[in-house]
Chain A
Amino acid sequence: MHAIQQQFWSVREYLSPVLRESKFKEHGRITPEEFVAAGDFLTYKFPVWAWEKGDPSKARDYLPADKQYLVTRGVPCLRRATSLVYTDADEEAERMLSFGDEGKEDEWVETHAGRPALSESAANPGVIDDIPDDDAAGGVTGGIASMSLGGKGAEETPDLDEIPDMEEDDLEAGDEATAAPNTAQATGTGVIDSSQVEVAKGNLLQVRTYDVMITYDKYYQTPRIWLLGYDENRTPLTPSQIFQDVSADHAFKTVTIEPFPHSASLQAASVHPCKHANVMKKVIERMNSTVVADQLRQSSGPVTPGTKEKKKGWFGRKSAGGKETPQTPGEEDDVEGMRVDFYLVVFLKFIASIVPTIEVDSTTAM
């Protein structure tokens, strides 16, 4: 069933026309050209992002051959989103993401901002026992049981008899100049080796890393995010492990495992883009009005740049700091509002609310 659905989606994407006209401010969707422009800006400003070609046979002809999708590798993820247990007391910790124009309705809520993981859950990281399941033949219960979050499912404990019994401790003698993994914690420098975190702090951290890809979805005319995860031993994560890093509101619903469009066989977790355009439209609208107001003020006379204005103005002005000039072509209007180049920067902030513990948003350093 799922295969048929995927087939349908790929045909639908193939048939749907390429968006030509730029309307990103009206409906939050972008054209492939704008995707490339925004991607160029992202890679210029944040060199951790890079363009990739992907599998040539899967190349999309409406994108340049060497700019098929964006990738950043080794994005750290210190905690599980599922260990951030949500309680009523945390309601106040919610932070409205407003992008400047405070006080308007329907801002979206960033729920897990800066909240310490509960100590109980740190010692016992969201382990939910498998649901006892008589009806193992399948169906909904079967599916859920096999995906139990953080559970010690069969797929997490490797079958011991399947690992070849070939430890060869005599292969090389101990070497005094090889750093043992625990040498770092004794130092007073305040940097902790990721493999030693729990020992050092008594606070369970399992540092996972993610490869994050952004593709252009022609049907939804928005970027689409893809995740490939590794655990602290750099073993690829299973789907159920990846869902531990997705906020509970989105796991299994908007985040699913799908074939990665630029590879023949690779599967990755993806945030379904059907709501992206709406959310992006709202964010952009709000940011745009701030930016326009800012630019009007800029052009009508000198402004004493308060710290607040400086931060907002960044999104609109092209050469605020001289070297901030993006390398992308653009019109030279005095008042143009938010430029499409910033689309992906904003997009990443939105994605960060779906995967709160994965540090996809490197743009906070701005």
Chain B
Amino acid sequence: MPIVQFAPFSSLVQPSFWHELTKLKIDVLKLSDESLSIHGHYSAGKTIKDRETGNDIALGCNLSVGEDAFSKEFHAPPNAVPATGVFKNYNTIEEFKAADKTALFNKVADEIWAAVMTNKDPSILNRFLLIAYADLKKYKYYYWFAFPGFVAKPAWEITDGWRAADTVLSYEAMKAIHDDLAKSLKPYFLVRTNGKVPEVASVERYEDFFAGVPPSSQLVGFLDPSAIPENPGWPLRNLLAYLRSLSPATTASLRVLCWRDTEPPHAGSGWRSRFGVVEAGVPQEATDARPSAVGWEKNVQGKLGPRVADLAPMMDPTRLADQAV
């Protein structure tokens, strides 16, 4: 059976985030390079129909940070769920280069794992890491994201491939799930379909919500930022690790719902969500130790390396003056 391949997150940094960082750096942080808590958000994967060729184009699997990333009272925009992150800003490019990235990454992965094992807290599963160096004089921002995802050994496999969710769920069932999530959107959720109307619950309730429910009526769902039909988005990876470690007895095979329908389908387009049955391999030995994690974002060249945002064309007063006609 093919291995489940997860579409990695791509970072999307709104320019207003860099503006906010500039302000923060000058007025508050100054030379401090303490880690800060930041917020990002992601929403369901989108496709767009190319009117000229008729193809559907999948847009990126994005996690965005914007100007309210540093705000204490962060609210994700409508139809998006929040993700918390660790942000570390360096004062010089040398420090940025010399940063112990492995240690920083492992620290975040440890935090996720500890939260899973001690509080069964799923809200931290999409925690991310951002390191940056801001060259304020040149309006250049060097940055590198990491989205730690646990590596399952052996890897999860997919039975019968991913297919459209409405091939296994009726329109009414899809609509009921949609309406429930429209009231409170959750990054991860459970659905049981043995009643008249599907019921949705948060993922912490896995054991009691599915008690006595036949496996064919159980669904594990997540808000899927990927729009690629064959690749569920990155958040599923840690959700599977979470369920597998907390309920090893019942999670050898899971029915997964990749939820991509925050807007109900309008005329001409069907439901976009995907469904698949994933199976865990047999682990060599049972252990509570943290699995290894991967997830550094690749740069524009497709290599593991930092990205640079050059905002001089949009920020530098002299460049803007040239622009004015």
Q: Assess whether A167 is in contact with B305, with CB atoms less than 8 Å apart.
A: yes
Assuming the contacts A184-B58, A191-B57, A233-B300, asked whether A178 and B52 have C-beta atoms less than 8 A apart, the reply is no
Say whether A162 contacts B229, CB under 8 Å. no
Q: Once the chains are docked, how many angstroms separate the CA of A234 from the CA of B17? A: 14
Residues of A within 8 A of B311 (CB): 236
Residues A162-212 near B (CB distance < 8 A)? 162-164, 166-169, 171-173, 175-181, 183-184, 187, 189-195, 197, 201, 203, 205, 207, 209, 211
Q: Does B306 contact A (CB under 8 A)?
A: yes
A-B CB pair tally, cutoff 8 Å: 205
Contact A177 B57, beta carbon cutoff 8 Å: no
The docked-state distance in angstroms from the alpha carbon of A168 to that of B48 is 35
Task: Decide if A76 is an interface residue (CB 8 Å cutoff).
Answer: yes
Task: Scan residues 236-256 of chain A and give those whose CB is less than 8 A from a CB of chain B.
Answer: 236, 238-240, 252, 256
- B288 interface residue (CB < 8 Å to A): no
Query: B23 in the interface, Cβ–Cβ < 8 Å?
Result: yes
Give the contact stretch, choosing among A88-96, A260-268, A288-296.
Answer: A260-268
304-349 of chain A: CB within 8 A of chain B: none
User: In the bound complex, how far is the Cα of B300 from the Cα of A139, in angstroms?
Assistant: 35
Who on chain B is nearest to A267 by CB?
B314
Query: Which of B5-13, B30-38, B243-251 lies at the interface with chain A?
Result: B5-13
Contact yes or no, A1 B266, CB < 8 A = no
Chain A 142-176, CB-CB to B under 8 Å as 1, else 0, gives 11001100000001001000111011110111011
Interface residues on A, range: 35 or more
* B55 in contact with A177 (CB, 8 Å): no
Asked if A50 and B10 sit within 8 Å, CB to CB, the answer is no
Choose among B57, B304, B324 the residue that contacts A205 (Cβ–Cβ < 8 A): B57
| One of B96-104, B165-173, B188-196, B200-208 at the interface | B96-104
Across the interface, name the chain A residue whose C-beta is closest to B55. A192
Q: Does A352 contact B (CB under 8 A)?
A: no
Q: Is the CB of A234 within 8 A of B60?
A: yes
Docked-complex contact A179 and B50, CB < 8 angstroms: no
With A164-B97, A234-B13, A365-B267 in contact, is A146–B77 under 8 Å at CB? no
- The answer to the question of A103 belonging to the interface, with a C-beta cut-off of 8 Å to chain B, is no
Instruction: Give the complex CA separation of A201 and B47 in angstroms.
Output: 17
Q: Mark B61-81, 1 if CB is under 8 A from A, else 0.
A: 010100100000000011100
Decide if B111 is an interface residue (CB 8 Å cutoff). no
Q: Would you give the shortest CB distance from B289 to chain A, in whole angstroms?
A: 18
Interface residues of A in 249-301 (CB under 8 A from B): 252, 256-257, 263-268
Per a CB cutoff under 8 Å, which of B52, B58, B149 touches A117? B52
Contact of B16 among A197, A207, A263, A359 (CB under 8 A): A263
A74 at the binding interface (Cβ < 8 Å): yes
State how many angstroms separate the Cβ of B119 from the closest Cβ of chain A: 26
Chain A residues with CB below 8 A from B299, complex form: 167
Per the CB 8 Å criterion, the residue count for chain B at the interface is 82
Contact with A along B218-238 (1 / 0, CB 8 A): 000000000111110000010
Give the complex CA separation of A176 and B151 in angstroms. Answer: 9
What residues of chain A lie closer than 8 Å to B175, measured between beta carbons?
A: none
Cα A171 to Cα B10 in complex, Å, equals 18
Instruction: Compute how far the CA of A267 lies from the CA of B228 in the bound complex, rounded to whole angstroms.
Output: 33
- B127 is an interface residue with CB less than 8 A from chain A: no
Determine which of A201, A211, A230, A236 lies in contact with B55 in the assembled complex, contact meaning CB atoms within 8 Å: A201
Binding site for B on A (CB under 8 A): 1-3, 5, 47-48, 50, 73-74, 76, 78-79, 114, 116-117, 138, 142-143, 146-147, 155, 158, 162-164, 166-169, 171-173, 175-181, 183-184, 187, 189-195, 197, 201, 203, 205, 207, 209, 211, 228, 230, 233-236, 238-240, 252, 256-257, 263-268, 359, 365
Between-chain CB contacts (< 8 Å), 10 pairs: A73-B77, A74-B62, A163-B305, A164-B96, A177-B4, A179-B231, A187-B229, A191-B47, A201-B55, A267-B320
